[in-house]
A = this chain, B = another copy of it.
Amino acid sequence: MSKIKSDLNVAREAVSLRFLVENRLRTAIGNGTFKPGQRLVERELCEQTGVGRTSIREALRQLEAEGLVTTIPHRGPAVSTISAEEASQLYDLRALLEGFAGRECARFRDPDILARLREQYERMVVVAHQDDHRDLLAAKTAFYAAMLEGCGNTFVQRVLNMLLNRVTLLRMTSMTQKNRIHHSLREIEAILTAIEAGDATAAEAACIQHIHNAAAVAIEALKAHEAQSDPSAAKLRVR
């Protein structure tokens, strides 16, 4: 019955302005237009978007709830920064959740999901050599999207999406890692084959392993970055 309904679903076009603003800001933060730490002055956003302060503020509140933006009282919102410690915790949670997703995928083995996973994986293999990593990133994102969907748990999906947004934040802070691509590909292959084989335990382990590896690189880069530019660390120097 919900199947029928979803077929003639007209997708609710009447989107609110604040929703548009929200997405606009989210992608602006995601692609680095707004950098971590940068302040987001309400009036400026009003001018840039052409909407009133009301809508801007409500959109900001949403992003704040997602952790993408941090608001200091009477000082205003700014794009969230992320410390090495936080990043580490973030990756831990991500590993836990993606492990769950992988495990459930392997358990269900929904043919549709399996097909999408393989499709994206093969797309990744094809575009892996390109200098421009955008295609690769897109395929990887699609792969994850499929896996999340396949786990069949709305809440896990939602939480993971929030986490991924914040990881993107991290990617802006540190630089994109280069040579991990090939390792990464192999790890994803392991995930895929485990899921296809219906081996839940292996799938979970592969997901966790993959995130742990990615985390190690990211955290390392972040720490280096911090040690070099953190003013509070500099202050501790005796000279």
User: Which residues does A use to contact B, with CB under 8 Å?
Assistant: 1, 12, 14, 16, 54, 57-58, 61-62, 64-66, 73-74, 86, 89-90, 92-93, 96-97, 100, 152-156, 159, 163, 232, 236
Give the residue of B58, B64, B154 whose beta carbon is less than 8 angstroms from that of A57: B58
Known: A58-B57, A58-B58. A96 touches B97 (CB 8 A): yes
Provide the residues of chain B in CB contact with A1, threshold 8 Å: 232, 236
Name which residue of chain B comes closest to A53, CB basis: B54
CB <8 Å contact, A93 and B156? yes
Which chain B residues border A86 with CB–CB below 8 Å?
A: 154-155
Q: How far is the CB of A147 from chain B (nearest CB, A)?
A: 16
Copies in the complex: 2
Chain B neighbourhood of A64, CB < 8 A: 62
A29 to chain B, nearest CB (A): 16
A14→B100 contact, CB < 8 A = no
Known A92-B153, A155-B163, A159-B93: A16·B61 in contact at CB below 8 Å: no
What 19 new A-B contacts, CB under 8 Å, besides A62-B65, A90-B155? A1-B236, A14-B73, A14-B74, A16-B73, A58-B61, A61-B65, A62-B64, A65-B65, A65-B66, A86-B154, A89-B152, A89-B153, A89-B154, A89-B156, A92-B156, A93-B153, A93-B155, A96-B156, A159-B159
A75 CB to nearest B CB, Å: 11
Please, which residue of chain B has its CB at the minimum distance from the CB of A88?
Answer: B153
Nearest chain B CB to A93 CB, angstrom units: 5
Residue of B nearest to A153 (CB): B89
**Complex partner residue of A12 from B58, B65, B73, CB under 8 angstroms:** B73
Of chain B, the residue at the smallest CB distance from A232 is B1
**CB-nearest residue of chain B relative to A100?**
B96
A14 contact set on B, CB distance < 8 A: 73-74
